[in-house]
Amino acid sequence: MKLYKVIILSISLIFSAVPQTYEYFFSQLTDADGLSQSTIFSMIQDKEGYLWLGTIDGLNRYDGYDFKVYSNDPYDSTSISDNFISALYEDSDGYIWVGTVNGYLNCFDRKNEKFKRYFINDFFSSKVDYIDNYYEYPLAFSRNQNNSITSIAEDYEGNLWIGTWGNGVIKLDRDKKEGLHLYSNSDDVNSISSNRITDILIDKDNVIWIATFGGGLNKLLTVSTNTIKKDVHQYKFTRYTVDSNRNHSIRDNKITCLHEGRSGNIWIGTFYNGLSKLDKSNKSLAPDEARFINYSAKENLQNSISDNTVMAIQQDADGYLWIGTFGGGIDRFDINKNNFINFSKLSSRQNPFTDIEILSLFIDRSGVLWAGSHLGEGVAKIQKYDVKFGIINRKVSSY
């Protein structure tokens, strides 16, 4: 009996000393399963349960069994404008908006399976201060495309906010198809801090946060959003940038992604300095008062974030934060314990997904984590053993 107790105790100690990765089941979908391409910039799940994946070679719809690929047909003006998908969003009316590297915004109507195209350049003014330092960012569209669409969001009144790689932001009235161009102006300290937009977050309080690559984090101060106002000076932004004189300022002006956590905190991915958190209680404070908590990769520290280039953030129903890095793979962050576990360096028996350059993460309504990589093997599925996966019932048809 004593020997039995010793064995049980030893097993318990072993499992408590290693990451609890055996809770999760890993699998992968590749081109052999019908995925059109393995570089995945964006993922969403629509109201019907379909998973949509934006790749550099077409838009993919997955129903849990099969992929359907939407590609450009040069002889069909109602097909998608081009195949290099960089942003996805489903609006409150159920339309899928697809942004491309070539600067097209596509509106997909599922009733007739047709796309309507809008060229984002048609909404730009000619006053933008252009930036030429393309090559630092490791993705193809950063080479020479200022009009690439990087993010799409919708405010409470139905306006779309569209971020571009070098031309600032377009606020689009979906009904009137009127757009207002908001851009960085060196003569206006209240304008957006940079025209290189990487992400747009509209939080639960309808506050608009804009991440820039070089100009830090921007927050739109309260304005009336019910109409497209033609005067850009009515839109005033406050800027959160690196302050070497403050220990608790944001650590990096090159921001890659934003995520609002379940508690209302803003999580911020950066290009050089890992992960930052702006607590809900600090969101209304001025930049010189707001305190950011920063998490950076530390050499030889097992429980730190695996890499300082953070490209994607999601939070699951258990409260864990999942972080996709460009170089260190996927981390799971236990917020309560301040503990990171890296999921991309496990043995192949536990985890067949070995891609370390992560571009996108998404948690679907059943709790499955999807991970898209850069030039990798495909899209990975990470799910708990007690979660039954299923996107839609095959009998459900599009409306």
Q: SS3 for 4? A: helix
* More confident: 97 or 157: 97
Beta bridge mates, 382:
26, 369
Residue 330 lies in a domain: yes
pTM of the model as a whole: 0.89
210, 213, 191, 199: which is closest to 125 by C-alpha? 191
**Band of the pLDDT at 391, cuts 50, 70, 90?**
low
Distances (CA, A) of 347 to 22, 72, 163, 353, 382: 11, 40, 39, 10, 15
* More confident: 339 or 229: 339
pLDDT at 67 over 90: yes
User: Looking at residue 186, which CATH number applies to its domain?
Assistant: 2.130.10.10
Mean per-residue pLDDT over the chain, rounded: 86
Cα–Cα distance, 152 to 163 (Å, whole number): 6
**Band of the pLDDT at 43, cuts 50, 70, 90?**
very high
Who contacts 364 (Cβ-Cβ below 8 Å, separation ≥6)?
A: 45, 51, 370, 391
Domain count, the chain: 1
Q: Are 204 and 260 in contact (CB under 8 A)?
A: yes
Question: Which range, 125-129, 195-199, 371-375, has the best average confidence (pLDDT)?
Answer: 195-199
Q: What six digits make up the tokens of 88?
A: 């996805």
The residue-averaged pLDDT of 222-244 equals 77
**Band of the pLDDT at 399, cuts 50, 70, 90?**
very low
pLDDT at 183 over 60: yes
pLDDT at 11: 37
pLDDT at 223: 59
**Band of the pLDDT at 137, cuts 50, 70, 90?**
confident
Cα–Cα distance, 279 to 292 (Å, whole number): 7
pLDDT at 46 over 90: yes
Residue 113 lies in a domain: no
**Band of the pLDDT at 26, cuts 50, 70, 90?**
confident
pLDDT at 134: 66
Chain segment 242-290, per-residue pLDDT in tens: 999 998 999 999 999 999 999 999 999 999 999 999 999 999 999 999 9
Residue 299 lies in a domain: yes
Which ranges of 272-390 would DSSP assign to H, the alpha helix?
Answer: none
**Band of the pLDDT at 197, cuts 50, 70, 90?**
very high
Instruction: Kindly write down the DSSP assignment for every residue of 102-142, as one continuous string.
Output: TSEEEEEETTTTEEEEEEGGGG--S--------TTS-SGGG
pLDDT at 14 over 60: no
Chain segment 165-178, per-residue pLDDT in tens: 999 999 999 888 88
The residue-averaged pLDDT of 390-394 equals 57
Chain segment 338-372, per-residue pLDDT in tens: 999 988 766 455 565 667 899 999 999 999 999 99
Residue 250 lies in a domain: yes
* More confident: 399 or 380: 380
* More confident: 397 or 325: 325
Residue 90 lies in a domain: no
Segments forming the whole domain that contains residue 29: 24-39+120-384
The residue-averaged pLDDT of 50-75 equals 97
Residue 187 lies in a domain: yes
pLDDT at 349: 52
Q: Are 307 and 297 in contact (CB under 8 A)?
A: yes
Residue 147 lies in a domain: yes
Residue 89 lies in a domain: no
Cα–Cα distance, 378 to 57 (Å, whole number): 13
